[in-house]
Amino acid sequence: MRRFGRFVSLLILPLIFEIVYSALKSLILNKPPIWSFEISLFLYGCFFMLGSAYCHMDKKHVAVDIILHYLPPKGKRLQRIFSEGVVLFVALVMLWVSIPAAWRATLIEERSTHQTPFNPEVWWYRWIIPFSCALLSAQALKDMMIAILKRPSRTPEIREPGQ
Amino acid sequence: MARELYPLLMFLILFLLLAAGVPIAFSLAAVSIAFSFFLWGPGALNILVSAAWGSMNNFVIIAVPLFIYMAYILQKTDVVADMYDVIYKWSGKLRGGLAIATIVVGAILGAVSGVVAAGVIGLGLIGLPQMLKHGYDKKMSLGAVLAGGTLGQLIPPSTNMVLYGCVTGVSIGGLFAGGLVGGIFLAFVYIIYILIRGLLNPAFCPSLPPEEQVSFKEKIRALKGIILPGVLILVVLGSMLNGVATPTEAAAFGAAGALFIGLCKRKLTWDIIYSSCYETLSVSSMVGWTMIGAGAFGSVFSGLGGNTLVANIAMNMPGGPNMVLAVSGVFIFVLGMFLEPGAIIFLAVPIIIPILTRMSFDPLWLGLAFNFILQTAYLSPPFGLSLFYLKGCAPDDIDIVAIYKSSVPFILLQILAVVIIFFFPSIVMWLPRYLGIGV
Amino acid sequence: AAKVNWRLVTHAMPGTEQQHIAEVFCETVKTLSKGEFVIEPFAGGVLFPVFESFDAIANGVVDAGLVYSAYWTGKDPLFTLTTQPGNPLGTFAEAAYFADKLEPWFAKLYAKHRITYLGHAVISPIREQFMSVVPINTLEDLKGKKVRTAGFGARFYEALGATTISLAAPEIYTAFQTKNIDAAEWTFWDENLRMGFHEVAKYVIDPAIHTGAHENWPLLVNPGRWDSLSQENKDILLAARDVMRYHAAMLYVLEVKARQRWREVPGITIKSWSPEDEVKASDVGNALVIEECNKSAEGKEFLDIYRSTLWELGYKDQAKKLGYTE
Ligand code: NA
Ligand code: NA
């Protein structure tokens, strides 16, 4: 998951490059590349959606952890299990609903609603939702099992320099 | 159970889930799932997928990861540290110089982009560590970041004002002109507050120790370090305001420019480029999923008859015009504790504003006053997007309670500002009047 | 409580005249059914992003919708034909007549995508407005300009030498202000006043050349929900739709008034293209329509309906250009 997340995170670089390139081309030749708009959306959408499991693994999805501080260890563990359960529930429901949606989009070979001259096929982009949710469910399930089985909550990571 | 109570029940369950420490994005999503399923059946679960697909196709919010990446690069290549050191030197005996600088940078970021997440997280990464490093009070530092980063909703361009204008028919140009002076006015209110707190308590936001205060000549020399970032800001701002670039493009230029400055300073390493990538990913993913959750929650809330609830309350408001105005203001404020401003504009504004307009309040002034109040929705606990964005990028030892507490004085200042523009409307109205738009 | 409770979504902004028509529709249904059939209207973007309406109606997230068909070109390229560049129809009656002719065609198209089409609800009363921040007085001026448009319009303006982009409604104002776009085609005089475009776009071409009056809102319902209605409620729904058609026709008055208000705004120039340019543009549009229609059997069917309607209504030259034979 970590390796996958880090791979996904690199998408920000082509995103920057692509927008800067398009803007410059638009400025100099007064004609931006026709694919610019949708390609930025694709890069951004894949970036933040596929990154959700990685974000969850690092517990970077913000929570209001007021009560947490006052709970005894057992309560903390229950809280962990409950919280992971809710995340798992949401991810599974989204997974369940988004697969038929993506499948229908595939059948009609859905194209972009943005109606640019580029007009790319977007059915594959629909599959990013179930794929992200599958990753997220796997991560939440894993974290929940760890909390239930009461193993040490996280294997110590080798922190890389500069982090 | 009466149908009218469902919207309130939604708030209650959301509150419980939040209190139980469930991540915000998933608390919102879980409540939406439960209510849409039980009331409208399994087909309605698609609302969550719709919200996700909507976010994946929203060009405006692409600016968020770009700004975050820029902020990380500027921070890691010490550009920011250099800039704040210069400001620190320049502010000399003045207490609170760094917090004031944070507010000013927030206003500038706000003029570049209309996306609150970008402003708050940008400042959280840039300003917060510097203020803490120089011994500023934690609450003051957090508050300055929250308030400064959210200014972009008053200072144009502002998505909320465009929505407000479309919904009420008030001139968007008038709102922008009034918002510009209003935003600057609010920034001044913040700055005065910081100065006063600094005067009353020197430890709150300390000035430069006397032994480190330097001569004017040295101050000039110190400026050398910030020439490049200064140029970057000018280029980004200039390109946006001249219409050469959209806000999203300006953000991409900012990110590319930050990499360029890092290179020039010979501080940029592969490691910085790489680690900024995955730190940006975590924060952007948090922001994106929180927007999905908030979108779905707002949808289900409206669909459950939130409008009816709002309309019932609006129709039964007591007293004369000023009383109705005050009660509506309080009502919008309370909604803002639980909903994001966009949802409130669609939900409550079309019902409440016509009532007030009929009571002969100036529509443009009303629009500006309500945009001030709507802005508090970003900051007011328990559900405030700016609060969550800041938590997402602040150091781990800063908990949400500290952020909640830090927001309170700045919320009060915003309310104070609304009261001031009630008694002195020309503060916000002179520019629209001068330009002759919307009045 | 009512026996049937529905939710209906539109693509209009809350508080607009169009949204008001949707509210009248729901009110009519309630009155006719003596409170037994209640529809709650939601403006665009309140329940979900406007572009999600299609799936939402098909999936039953909402029961009914009043949303522009041209948004769905991504679902099926045939929706491109919602507008026809070069279409000369200029009045409500003509466009409503054409929409009635097309009703079986659209019903079949929507049915393929799990949506029941119940005919037109709101027909635009006049042509769309074309606004710009720089003067665009001839077709030649249009070359190299950046135009905000949608649907078939994108290909049309590209064919005329412009660059096109698609922007959501709330972004157009800022794009004008920062001169990110030179021109935009967007609905009608009244709505454009409300959106504040007269503050930023100082040049207007009237009428716009993209398309004539056309169906802006079809009445769409979820097939399952439609089938489960009693015959009486079905009749009520259609009767209320016809009340909407009346209000749609009356939008013309608002348009005339709003156009007058536009004319009175200081610094605004309203012009028309020369007849030669109009014909040239219309020919480019006709060629695109023929090309699009020839892509499929359904498209050819559409072309037949289109050109025979033009012929019937007296636009004989254009009908012939589109391949109509007596
Ligand atoms: Na702004
Ligand atoms: Na809030």
Tell me the pLDDT tens digit for each residue of A48-93. Answer: 999 999 999 988 888 887 777 788 888 888 999 999 999 999 999 9
Structural domain includes residue A158: no
Chain B hits for C52, CB-CB cut-off 8 Å, are: 50, 53-54
Among B56, B58, B167, which would you mutate to test the C interface (most chain C Cβ atoms within 10 Å of its Cβ)? B167
The tokens describing C227, both together, are: 């089938």
Please indicate if any CB of chain A lies within 8 Å of the CB of C298: no
Q: Which of B239-248, B328-337, C236-245 has the highest mean pLDDT?
A: C236-245
Q: What is the mean pLDDT of residues B359-369?
A: 91
Among A62, A104, A131, which would you mutate to test the B interface (most chain B Cβ atoms within 10 Å of its Cβ)? A62
pLDDT band at B114 (very low <50, low <70, confident <90, very high): low
Whether B135 and B156 have beta carbons less than 8 Å apart is answered as no
Q: Which chains have 3+ CB pairs within 8 A of C?
A: A, B
Q: Which residue of C has its CA nearest to A119?
A: C74
Indicate yes or no: CB of C165 within 8 angstroms of CB of A116: yes
Q: Which residue of A has its CA nearest to B240?
A: A23
Percent of chain A surpassing pLDDT 90 = 54
Q: For position C175, what pLDDT does the model report?
A: 83
Question: Rounded to 5 degrees, what are φ and ψ at C65?
Answer: -155, 155
Please indicate if any CB of chain A lies within 8 Å of the CB of B21: yes
Structural domain includes residue A9: yes
Q: For position A156, what pLDDT does the model report?
A: 45
Q: For position C1, what pLDDT does the model report?
A: 63
Q: For position B224, what pLDDT does the model report?
A: 74
Q: For position B411, what pLDDT does the model report?
A: 95
Residue B34: exposure state from Cβ atoms within 10 A (0-12, 13-18, ≥19): middle
Among B4, B166, B435, which would you mutate to test the C interface (most chain C Cβ atoms within 10 Å of its Cβ)? B166
Structural domain includes residue A123: yes
Which H helix or E strand runs over B415?
helix B400-423
Residue B258's Cβ-side half-sphere holds a number of Cα atoms within 13 Å equal to: 28
Q: For position C298, what pLDDT does the model report?
A: 96
Flag whether pLDDT at B260 surpasses 60.
Answer: yes
Structural domain includes residue A159: no
**Residue whose tokens read 């140029």:** B231
Strands C130-132 and C183-185: antiparallel
- For residue C120, the cross-strand partners are C218
Name residues whose C-beta falls within 8 Å of residue B437's C-beta, 6 or more positions apart in sequence. Answer: B171, B173, B174, B177, C199
Q: In angstroms, rounded to a whole number, what is the distance separating the alpha carbons of residues B343 and B341?
A: 5
Q: For position A160, what pLDDT does the model report?
A: 39
Nearest to C55 by CA among C115, C13, C119: C115
- Centre of ligand 1 to C-alpha B113, Å, is 5
Q: Is the pTM above the cut of 0.90? A: no
The 3-state DSSP class for residue B366 equals helix
Nearest to C177 by CA among B242, B346, B120: B242
Greater model confidence, B293 or C196? B293
Chain A hits for B401, CB-CB cut-off 8 Å, are: 66
Domain count, chain A: 1
Interfacial residues of C (vs B; Cβ cutoff 8 Å): 7, 13-16, 40, 42-43, 45-49, 51-52, 55-56, 59-61, 169-171, 173-175, 177-180, 194-196, 199-200
Indicate yes or no: CB of C52 within 8 angstroms of CB of B246: no
pLDDT band at B80 (very low <50, low <70, confident <90, very high): confident
Which H helix or E strand runs over B339?
none
Task: Give me the residues near ligand 2 (ion), CB cutoff below 5 Å.
Answer: B 336-337, 377, 380, 383-384
Structural domain includes residue A113: yes
Q: For position A158, what pLDDT does the model report?
A: 42
Q: For position A159, what pLDDT does the model report?
A: 41
Indicate yes or no: CB of A111 within 8 angstroms of CB of C77: yes
Amino acid (one-letter) located at B244: V
Out of B25-29, B360-364, C78-82, C287-291, least confident range: B360-364
Whether C163 and C153 have beta carbons less than 8 Å apart is answered as no
Whether A119 and C79 have beta carbons less than 8 Å apart is answered as no
Flag whether pLDDT at B192 surpasses 60.
Answer: yes
Q: For position B96, what pLDDT does the model report?
A: 84
How many of the other CB atoms lie within 10 Å of CB of A66? Answer: 17
Structural domain includes residue A156: no
pLDDT band at B262 (very low <50, low <70, confident <90, very high): confident
Out of A133-142, B104-113, B234-243, least confident range: B234-243
Out of B116-130, B153-167, B381-395, C303-317, least confident range: B153-167
Nearest to B103 by CA among B64, B131, B79: B131
Give the DSSP letter of residue B310: H
Cα distance between the two ends of chain A:
18
Q: Which of C42, C173, C180 sits opposite B172 (nearest CB)?
A: C173
Indicate yes or no: CB of C178 within 8 angstroms of CB of B242: yes
Q: For position B298, what pLDDT does the model report?
A: 86
Indicate yes or no: CB of C60 within 8 angstroms of CB of B43: yes
Among A2, A12, A125, which would you mutate to test the B interface (most chain B Cβ atoms within 10 Å of its Cβ)? A12
pLDDT tens profile B136-173: 899 999 999 999 999 988 988 788 888 888 788 788 88
Structural domain includes residue A89: yes
The tokens describing B42, both together, are: 């399994």
Q: Which residue of B has its CA nearest to A16?
A: B252
Greater model confidence, A1 or B341? B341
CA-to-CA separations, C22 to A43, C12, C245, C250, in angstroms, rounded = 38, 9, 11, 14
Whether B151 and B107 have beta carbons less than 8 Å apart is answered as yes
The 3-state DSSP class for residue A96 equals helix
CA-to-CA separations, C47 to A59, B7, B288, in angstroms, rounded = 30, 14, 18
Which domain covers residue A77, as residue numbers? Answer: 2-149
Which H helix or E strand runs over C164?
strand C163-165
Indicate yes or no: CB of B66 within 8 angstroms of CB of A15: yes
Q: For position C318, what pLDDT does the model report?
A: 93
How many Cβ pairs closer than 8 A exist between chain B and C? 105
pLDDT tens profile B67-77: 889 889 988 88
Indicate yes or no: CB of C14 within 8 angstroms of CB of B346: yes
Q: What is the mean pLDDT of residues B289-316?
A: 82
Q: For position B232, what pLDDT does the model report?
A: 72
Nearest to C14 by CA among B171, B349, B338, B370: B349
Flag whether pLDDT at A154 surpasses 70.
Answer: no
Flag whether pLDDT at A163 surpasses 50.
Answer: no
Amino acid (one-letter) located at C159: A
Per-residue pLDDT of chain C (326 residues; tens, 9 = 90+): 678 999 999 998 887 888 999 999 999 999 999 999 999 999 988 888 888 999 999 999 999 999 999 889 889 999 999 999 999 998 899 999 999 999 999 999 999 999 999 999 999 887 878 999 999 989 999 998 989 887 788 889 999 999 887 777 777 887 888 777 899 988 888 888 888 888 889 999 887 778 888 899 999 999 999 999 999 999 999 999 999 999 999 988 988 899 899 999 888 999 888 889 989 999 999 999 999 999 999 999 999 999 999 999 999 999 999 999 98
Indicate yes or no: CB of B241 within 8 angstroms of CB of C178: yes
Flag whether pLDDT at B316 surpasses 90.
Answer: no
The tokens describing C77, both together, are: 């390229």
Please indicate if any CB of chain B lies within 8 Å of the CB of A87: yes
Q: For position A23, what pLDDT does the model report?
A: 85
Percent of chain A surpassing pLDDT 70 = 91
- Centre of ligand 1 to C-alpha A61, Å, is 26
Chain B hits for A19, CB-CB cut-off 8 Å, are: 62, 66, 248-249, 252
